[in-house]
Amino acid sequence: MTKLSLLDLAHIKEGGDVRDALANAADIARHAEALGFERYWCAEHHGMAGIASAATSVLIGHVAAATQTIRVGAGGIMLPNHSPLVIAEQFGTLDALFPGRIDLGLGRAPGSDQRVAAALRRNLDTDANAFPRDVVELQSYFADDGRTGIVATPGAGANVQLYILGSSLFGAQVAAMLGLPYAFASHFAPQALDDALKIYRDRFEPSDVLSEPYAICGYNVFAADSEDEAQLLATSMQQSFVRLRTGQPGKLPPPVEGYRESLPPQASAMLDGVLSATAIGTPSQVREQMNAFVERTQADELIIAGSIYDHEARKRSLTLAAQAFAGEHAAA
């Protein structure tokens, strides 16, 4: 049975602030836990007025302390922004505080523009092999195998599950080569999804942590009691993408009636492309769309995204989606 999980950006909405966003992150994680979701992930982004998850490991600690059983982690840490040793220490600390519950998804994008990336890293390494080398170094710190000559404290011996993230074919190749689970960002970059999954599964090499491929796919869900309401909820995320692509990013805006119909053809086509891995509608409509996506991808897990302005409406959307999806699988 395909598992369900939650991806959160800790959105700062118009009229809200960082404190509100962090409180909502803990609350939505508790809600996902009550619904039986497998994991809660937050993502590293920098220099963005509408996203409060820049200090990703701090947010993970906040959410893990607010929950009991759900796995909590990064989807992901943008490893080129950090030294592997620092990440080993951070996530080793999290594992010591919340044993057996910490995930570490690793990506190679900066999660920012080039100016912010330079401020984060000081030295922009464009070597394509730098990312897999950093992943192997990080694995060595957790394994405490002596290959680096340094003992990460905390970190050595930590039980942190690593995942490789990607929105292109490169991450699929790295995950397959290292025998790690793979998460594809199809919730905003679905174009290479099918090719990436094929490469990952065809080239997968079993490892000490994973004997066969395990694929997670990002998927947006906007579920409500009526299709019109669901379509309205989705307009906040649609507005955010249009603003981002036109160089005007900001806080998450409230929904707007008739927004899609107001867009020029180019913007509408852009949204159709980047948000094609999306279910919008009533529970039965969402179930049908989610099942079609799972059938197409054979995903082991869907990690649900979807930026909804009203916090209670977002919780309701998750509830409806989880109930519809679980009911379909129970019936099968």
Is 328 within the bounds of a domain?
no
C-alpha span between 253 and 264 (Å, rounded): 19
Long-range contacts of 60-63 (CB under 8 A, 24+ apart): 60/94, 60/102, 61/94, 61/97, 61/98, 62/22, 62/25, 62/26, 63/25, 63/26, 63/29
Mean pLDDT score, 178-183: 98
**Residues 95-138 pLDDT 10s:** 999 999 999 999 998 656 777 777 876 566 667 689 999 999 99
User: Is 304 contained in some domain?
Assistant: yes
CA distances (Å), 139 to each of 84, 153, 158, in order? 9, 14, 10
Please tell me the pTM assigned to this model: 0.95
CB neighbourhood size of 129 (10 A): 8
pLDDT per residue as tens digits for the range 144-161: 999 999 999 999 999 999
The confidence score (pLDDT) of residue 114 equals: 74
**Residue written as token pair 């019109």:** 228
Q: Examine residue 238 and state whether it is found in any structural domain, yes or no.
A: no
Cβ atoms of 205 and 303 within 8 Å: the answer is no
Q: The CATH number of the domain where 18 resides is what?
A: 3.20.20.30
C-alpha distance across the termini of the chain, in Å: 10
Instruction: Indicate whether 41 belongs to any domain.
Output: yes
Query: For the chain, what is the total number of helices (H) and then of strands (E)?
Result: 12, 9
Q: How many domains would you assign to the chain? A: 1
Q: Which residues pair with 273 in a beta bridge?
A: none
For residue 288, being part of any structural domain is answered with no
Torsion of CA 234, 312, 290, 190, to 10 degrees: 50
Domain that holds residue 93: 3-219+296-309
pLDDT 10s digits, 287-320? 999 999 999 999 999 999 999 999 999 999 999 9
Residue 233 in any domain: the answer is no
In a domain, 166, yes or no: yes
pLDDT band at 332; cut points 50, 70, 90: very low
Single out the residue of 51, 48, 85, 90 nearest to residue 73, CA to CA.
90
With respect to residue 253, please indicate whether it lies within any of the assigned structural domains.
no
d(CA 332, CA 326): 10
